Amino acid sequence: MLPTSNIALAGLKAMTDGRNHTSSFLYNAKLQPTHFDISGDLVNQNYDYYNDGRISFVDNTTDAKFDRAYSYDHMARLTRQRPADRRAVTREIRLITNFPTMTP
């Protein structure tokens, strides 16, 4: 077993691409991304989570039309992903509940 000092305890913090744009990330105590940014004001968004760790909201501060809110059923399955704009059309995610049985 490796000592804990040799184990990476966080995700990617920053990266620069071939066009010299830097992507940077911030994380919470649970190592979930809380902020994502691409330099030059290309992308800037924040992430919120429910207490159980599921994502609840993505706030895109660069362009609000990319904001998203997420809902789940009692079994933690994603049931709804909708734009944050309440006037926008809600998209339901259909859950597959009946799988065909396979016989050899």
Q: Quick check: 50 pLDDT over 50?
A: yes
- In DSSP notation, 39-104 reads TTTTEEEEEEE-TTS-EEEEEESS-GGG-EEEEE-TTS-EEEEEESSTTSPPEEPPPP--------
Residue ranges per domain, the chain? 11-92
Note the pLDDT tens digit of each residue in 13-47. 889 998 899 999 999 989 899 999 999 889 999 99
| Residue 84, pLDDT score | 67
pLDDT at 99 over 90: no
The reply to whether the predicted model has a pTM over 0.75 is no
Tell me: pLDDT of 1 over 70.
Answer: no
